[in-house]
């Protein structure tokens, strides 16, 4: 054989497998044959296939050796491993309750870890799919005002072109106008089939910067003809059934700016879930520039998002210093600075304070990773506690083994084998459990996660198995193998004092975590309930809102009078803003007695007649807008905060200037919330407008909702030419503002529940063990006349003490955490002592109940049973 | 004492060992069997069969082709023993006898 000259080498793993299982003689035989086969396979099947076959054969040999082979062909390790498996199996079988407690704990812990891993991996993958994601940046703008610096993604239209021109570091810059720009819904139709869409307007550089592959047609085609559009595969199949038919077809776009036909010139692959740019149709940006030139070509108008590709190796800090004052260079009055942030970081680090990045969702990623780890640790603690507690029963086994010459290493290996088997079994079950709960998890997190077996997942699972095995097996292995041979043969535990302390400490740790979780869940849900019931200064019950998309401005009065004539309608009004986060803001207001450089940024609500009545905003002084009067456009309403901020006394009738035009104050309204409760109430004014309405709000009489909505829908579709009626109650829209908190709340509820269940299982296991060990003592006490309650008390005292210590540790920590979280809200609940008292009592009761399952059983047992054996 | 039996796979391995005469070792037996049976055979199964056969005394093994440079690899040749041949013969005669007792009507299927 001349395989010496052949360079191909068999895989190391296969060789290692053979070496670690085969006896010396057999190994040399097997190696010869394996190598000869390998080199033959390299010649006829190629190196990759040959290596795979080699591994397969090696596994085959090892498995034959392990299950069927005679011991003379394998080394002692194989036999020991076989023995360890057998002993583990027998010990699982012997202590069934312990086995199930461990298994349930590990399974649920590992299932949580798997689910959280999926979520975290998804969060981390956001916006990373672009080919150039390493050099892809978004330009953010810091707008300075008297209220501080506000960081927004909206940037001036000419910014991207200027960046490309002036800075050699910028390879491409692109301006994107997303669907956020349009306040109403947008619809696309073909052949009277209407679909609600998310549109986006792009310029020529878009496809150079981002990676959104085409499936049909050419992406450049929309820049050739202003009326060409690209649509997503999903939209194409929904409109035309088959995406092949889409190209060349005419579609009609209707929203507040457009009522125009376009031609489909290409189809792009659906935007992946992990993209923050969400769109299903792309238009040429020039199209909207032609309509509304000044929104996109001047430096003081911020509507587009700006993205760019920097040349590789550009230092971000240096570059940011260069572009810092760019906007003010062109528009000296702008008072805003720009900076670039890596695009894939804008999702996770999207919170800013004073123009600095202060984190964002990354905090949740960290929080949930921590929770996964904590739950896994709690499950591991069960295994540790129960194994060391059960050591009593295995003392003889250890003693005999040691007498026969077992080294400490052998015993350590045995316990690690046990832990490994447990963990592997746990992870297999966890996989199924996680798979079963995935739909529920997706619903709660609002994501679309799925299991995909890839290298990372395999790596994570292997890593988890190793870490969990080390965590669970480590302490028992070292502890049990350390025991003194003679003492253990006699059945005595030496140093039991310290060990029971370690065990108690671990239980205390478990319950401290449980207490913290209970308090957190309680406070998060209280805070959310508080937000939802908080008096917002307006009455959002039964107020229905819908957009005026597809309705001509001139038919609005007709629609309004039709709506007001409906029997179930109490009030109705149309506006250009909503009260759920979508408001304007301006500092362009001046008032009598204003200091020279004083400016207040106020919320601007542009509304029609009947707004305060529809929303139930209370009037404090003066009057509101009335139909009968003329020239209401020159009048204005303020809220109390605004009046206070301006320092006006006796404000009714005074004249202020808004954007240079004079307006007379006719009334003051009570404070009401227009933004999230993370913010305090802002100074707000309400002004009348007579055009550019986007929303209609209708206050419906309670009990007539269904009929009234039906009638509203028929009015709407008649006037809009058959557009779908998309309405939503204001209180629902309000709740949607706190979606993030609600997700965190329901997730933390589930995880807290799991953590507590696992902890309780561990406690139950320990109590069972203690009760078994003390069964003789209990028997004697009962014979001497101890009552049932006396015995229950005896067995629960230890637990009560442990829980008390857990509370002493857990409650202060939870107070600290809760306080930090509540601080983020401008309107938070008071952290009263009741919450903590309640959580403490709950924990104690749960623990007692768990323990009572066992204590009552042993206290009621007939003493004869436990005493007769001696 | 329990009678020593020859399994179906063992019989095939034993036969091949005899057929290959003097050049029977892991790889050759495996390749020969694979080409005859038209399916792949795992080395593990083959070794296990060979080890059982050696224990029953139906094959002998000898070492050949040790390469010092390869570091502990060696060819282990297997030769069929007289007892092995006897065992094969016994199995065959039992089989032949049974086959001969098959009804003529069934055997005629072979010819059609």
Instruction: Tell me: pLDDT of A497 over 60.
Output: no
Instruction: Output the CA torsion A125→A129→A130→A134 (10° steps).
Output: 50
Mean pLDDT of A69-85: 75
Q: Who among A36, A65, A70 is closest to B27 (CB)?
A: A36
The reported pTM is 0.72
Token pair for B64: 């050949």
Q: Who among A29, A68, A70 is closest to B74 (CB)?
A: A29
In chain B, residues with a C-beta closer than 8 Å to the C-beta of A40 are 27
∠ CA A297-A302-A307, rounded to 5°: 85
Q: Which residues of A touch B (CB under 8 A)?
A: 1, 4, 24, 26-37, 40, 56-57, 60-65, 68-70, 73
Q: B69 and A63 in contact by Cβ < 8 A?
A: no
Q: B72 and A28 in contact by Cβ < 8 A?
A: yes
Cβ contact B83:B57 at 8 Å: yes
Tally A–B CB contacts below 8 A. 67
Q: In angstroms, what separates the C-alpha of B26 from chain A's closest C-alpha? A: 6
DSSP 8-state secondary structure symbol assigned to residue A619: E
Mean pLDDT of A21-43: 81
Q: In angstroms, what separates the C-alpha of B94 from chain A's closest C-alpha? A: 28
Instruction: Give residues with Cβ within 8 angstroms of A337, minimum separation 6.
Output: A141, A142, A144, A324, A325, A327, A328, A355
Instruction: Tell me: pLDDT of A1 over 50.
Output: no
CA-CA distance, A231 to A221, in Å (whole number)?
Answer: 12
Of the candidates A212, A229, A209, the residue with the CA atom closest to the CA atom of residue A221: A229
User: For A314-354, how does the pLDDT look when each residue is reduced to its tens digit (9 = 90+)?
Assistant: 888 888 888 888 888 887 777 788 888 888 888 888 777 77
Instruction: Report pLDDT for A536.
Output: 65
Instruction: Tell me: pLDDT of A599 over 50.
Output: yes
Q: B26 and A29 in contact by Cβ < 8 A?
A: yes
Question: B75 — contact with chain A (CB < 8 Å)?
Answer: yes
Instruction: Report pLDDT for A579.
Output: 67
Instruction: Report pLDDT for A791.
Output: 84
Q: How confident is the model at residue A627 (pLDDT cuts 50, 70, 90)?
A: confident
Q: How far is residue A738 from each of residues A279, A359, A527, A743, B20, measured CA to CA in Å? A: 24, 19, 11, 9, 80
Question: B76 — contact with chain A (CB < 8 Å)?
Answer: yes
Question: B77 — contact with chain A (CB < 8 Å)?
Answer: no
Q: Who among A26, A57, A73 is closest to B42 (CB)?
A: A57
Q: B72 and A27 in contact by Cβ < 8 A?
A: yes
Q: In angstroms, what separates the C-alpha of B87 from chain A's closest C-alpha? A: 22
Q: In angstroms, what separates the C-alpha of B67 from chain A's closest C-alpha? A: 10
Mean pLDDT of A790-802: 85
Q: In angstroms, what separates the C-alpha of A113 from chain B's closest C-alpha? A: 38
In chain B, residues with a C-beta closer than 8 Å to the C-beta of A57 are 42-44
In chain B, residues with a C-beta closer than 8 Å to the C-beta of A21 are none
Mean pLDDT of A221-246: 86
């902890």: which residue's tokens? A759
Instruction: Report pLDDT for A495.
Output: 53
Mean pLDDT of A60-81: 76
Instruction: Report pLDDT for A4.
Output: 46
Determine whether A24 is exposed, middle or buried from the number of CB atoms within 10 Å of its CB (0-12, 13-18, 19+).
Answer: exposed
Instruction: Tell me: pLDDT of A429 over 90.
Output: yes
Instruction: Provide the percentage of residues in chain A whose pLDDT is more than 70.
Output: 92
In chain A, residues with a C-beta closer than 8 Å to the C-beta of B75 are 29, 32
Stated length of chain B: 112
Residue A505 is inside which H or E element, if any?
Answer: helix A496-533
Instruction: Report pLDDT for A581.
Output: 61
Mean pLDDT of all residues belonging to chain A: 81
In chain A, residues with a C-beta closer than 8 Å to the C-beta of B27 are 33, 36-37, 40
Mutate to test the interface with A, among B23, B34, B43, B65 (most CBs of A within 10 A): B43
Instruction: Provide the percentage of residues in chain A whose pLDDT is more than 90.
Output: 2
Which residue does chain A place closest to B70, by CA atoms?
A4
Of A568-572, A847-851, B96-100, where does the model show the most confidence?
B96-100
Mean pLDDT of B98-108: 85
In chain B, residues with a C-beta closer than 8 Å to the C-beta of A9 are none
User: For A721-739, how does the pLDDT look when each residue is reduced to its tens digit (9 = 90+)?
Assistant: 767 677 777 777 666 666 7
> How many CA atoms lie less than 13 Å away from A176 in the CB half-sphere?
27
- Min mean pLDDT across A54-63, A347-356, B40-49 is at A347-356
* ipTM of this complex: 0.82
Which residue does chain A place closest to B50, by CA atoms?
A69
Q: In angstroms, what separates the C-alpha of A413 from chain B's closest C-alpha? A: 27
CA-CA distance, A174 to A158, in Å (whole number)?
Answer: 10
User: For A149-191, how does the pLDDT look when each residue is reduced to its tens digit (9 = 90+)?
Assistant: 778 888 888 888 888 888 888 888 899 988 877 766 788 888 7
Q: In angstroms, what separates the C-alpha of A18 from chain B's closest C-alpha? A: 11
Q: B44 and A62 in contact by Cβ < 8 A?
A: yes
Q: B74 and A63 in contact by Cβ < 8 A?
A: no
In chain A, residues with a C-beta closer than 8 Å to the C-beta of B73 are 28, 31-32, 35
User: For A275-325, how does the pLDDT look when each residue is reduced to its tens digit (9 = 90+)?
Assistant: 888 888 998 888 888 887 777 888 877 888 999 988 888 888 888 888 888
Instruction: Report pLDDT for A737.
Output: 66
Question: B34 — contact with chain A (CB < 8 Å)?
Answer: no
């Amino acid at each position: 054989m001349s395989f010496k000259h052949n360079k191909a080498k068999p895989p190391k793993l296969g060789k290692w497998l053979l070496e670690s299982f085969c006896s010396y003689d057999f190994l040399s035989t097997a190696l010869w044959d394996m190598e000869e086969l390998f080199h033959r396979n390299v010649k006829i099947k190629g190196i990759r296939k040959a290596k795979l076959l080699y591994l397969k054969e090696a596994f085959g040999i090892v498995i034959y050796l392990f299950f069927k082979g005679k011991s003379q062909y394998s080394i002692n390790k194989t036999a020991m491993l076989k023995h360890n498996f057998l002993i583990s199996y027998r010990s699982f079988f012997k202590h069934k309750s312990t086995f199930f407690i461990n298994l349930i704990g590990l399974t649920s812990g590992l299932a949580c870890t798997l689910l959280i891993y999926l979520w975290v991996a998804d969060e981390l993958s956001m916006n990373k799919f672009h080919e150039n994601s390493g050099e892809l940046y978004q330009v953010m703008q810091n707008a300075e005002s008297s209220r501080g610096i506000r960081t927004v993604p909206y940037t001036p239209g000419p910014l991207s072109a200027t960046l490309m021109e002036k800075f050699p570091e910028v390879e491409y810059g692109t301006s994107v106008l997303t669907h956020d720009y349009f306040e109403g819904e947008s619809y696309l139709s073909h052949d009277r089939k209407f679909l609600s869409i998310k549109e986006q307007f792009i310029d020529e550089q878009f496809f150079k910067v981002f990676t959104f592959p085409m499936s049909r047609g050419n992406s450049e085609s929309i820049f050739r003809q202003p009326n060409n559009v690209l649509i997503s595969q999903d939209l194409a199949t929904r409109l035309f059934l088959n995406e092949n038919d889409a190209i060349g077809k005419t579609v009609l776009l209707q929203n507040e700016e457009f009522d125009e036909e376009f031609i489909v010139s290409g189809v792009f692959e659906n935007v992946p879930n992990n993209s923050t740019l969400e769109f299903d149709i792309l238009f040429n940006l020039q199209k909207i520039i032609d309509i509304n030139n000044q929104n996109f070509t001047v430096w003081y108008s911020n509507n587009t998002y700006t993205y760019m590709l920097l040349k590789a190796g550009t230092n971000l800090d240096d570059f940011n210093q260069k572009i810092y004052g760019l906007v003010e260079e062109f528009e000296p009055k702008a008072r805003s600075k720009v900076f670039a942030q890596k695009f894939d970081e804008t999702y996770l680090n999207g919170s800013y304070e004073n123009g600095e990045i202060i984190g964002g969702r990354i905090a949740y990623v960290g929080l949930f990773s921590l929770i996964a780890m904590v739950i896994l640790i709690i499950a591991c603690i069960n295994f540790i506690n129960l194994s060391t507690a059960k050591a009593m029963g295995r003392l003889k086994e250890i003693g005999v083994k040691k007498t026969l010459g077992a080294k400490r290493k052998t015993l350590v290996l045995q316990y690690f084998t046990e832990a490994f088997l447990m963990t592997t079994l746990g992870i297999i079950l966890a996989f199924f459990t996680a798979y079963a709960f995935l739909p529920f998890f997706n619903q709660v997190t609002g994501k679309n996660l799925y299991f995909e077996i890839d290298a990372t997942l395999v790596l994570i699972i292997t890593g988890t198995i190793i870490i969990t095995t080390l965590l669970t097996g480590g302490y028992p292995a070292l502890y049990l193998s350390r025991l003194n041979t003679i003492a253990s043969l006699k059945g005595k535990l030496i140093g039991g004092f310290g060990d029971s302390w370690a065990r108690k400490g671990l239980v205390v740790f478990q319950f401290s975590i449980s207490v913290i979780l209970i308090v957190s869940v309680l406070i998060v849900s209280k805070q959310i309930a508080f937000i939802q019931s908080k008096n917002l200064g307006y009455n959002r019950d039964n107020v229905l809102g819908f957009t005026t998309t597809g309705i001509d401005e001139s038919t609005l009065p007709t629609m309004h009078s039709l709506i007001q004539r409906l029997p179930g309608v109490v009030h109705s009004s149309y506006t250009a803003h909503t009260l759920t986060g979508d408001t304007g803001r301006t500092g362009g207001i001046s008032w009598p007695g204003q200091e020279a450089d004083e400016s207040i940024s106020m919320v601007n609500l542009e509304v029609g007649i009947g707004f305060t009545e529809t929303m139930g905003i209370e009037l404090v002084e003066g009057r509101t807008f009335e139909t009968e009067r003329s020239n209401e456009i020159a009048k204005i309403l303020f809220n109390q905060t605004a009046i206070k901020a301006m320092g006006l006394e006796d404000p009714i009738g005074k004249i202020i200037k808004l954007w240079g035009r004079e307006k007379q104050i006719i009334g003051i309204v009570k404070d009401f919330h227009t933004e999230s409760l993370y913010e305090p109430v802002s100074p707000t004014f309400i002004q009348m407008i007579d055009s550019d309405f986007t929303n209609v709000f209708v206050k419906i009489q309670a009990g007539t909702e269904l009929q009234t909505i039906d009638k509203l829908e028929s009015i709407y579709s008649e006037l809009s030419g058959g557009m779908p009626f998309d309405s939503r109650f204001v209180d629902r829209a309000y709740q949607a503002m706190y979606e993030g908190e609600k997700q965190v709340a329901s997730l933390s509820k589930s995880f807290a529940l799991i953590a507590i269940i696992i902890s309780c299982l561990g406690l139950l296991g320990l109590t069972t063990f203690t009760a078994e060990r003390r069964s003789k003592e209990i028997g004697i006490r009962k014979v001497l006349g101890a009552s049932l309650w006396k015995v229950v008390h005896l067995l629960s005292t230890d637990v009560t003490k442990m829980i008390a210590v857990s509370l002493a540790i857990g409650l202060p920590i939870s107070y600290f955490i809760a306080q930090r979280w509540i601080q983020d809200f401008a309107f938070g609940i008071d952290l009263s002592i009741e919450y903590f008292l309640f959580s403490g009592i709950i924990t104690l009761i749960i623990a007692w109940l768990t323990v009572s399952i066992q204590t009552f059983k042993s206290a009621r047992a007939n003493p004869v049973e436990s005493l007769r054996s001696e | 004492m329990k009678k020593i039996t020859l399994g179906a796979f063992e019989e095939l391995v034993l036969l091949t060992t005899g057929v290959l005469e003097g050049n029977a070792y892991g790889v050759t037996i495996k390749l020969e069997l694979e080409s005859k049976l038209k399916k792949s055979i795992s080395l593990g199964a083959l070794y296990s069969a060979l080890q059982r056969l050696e224990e029953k005394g139906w094959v002998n093994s000898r070492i050949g082709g040790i390469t010092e440079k390869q570091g502990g690899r060696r060819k282990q040749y297997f030769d069929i023993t007289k007892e092995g041949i006897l065992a094969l013969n016994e199995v065959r005669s039992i089989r032949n006898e049974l086959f001969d007792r098959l009804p003529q009507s069934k055997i005629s299927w072979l010819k059609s």
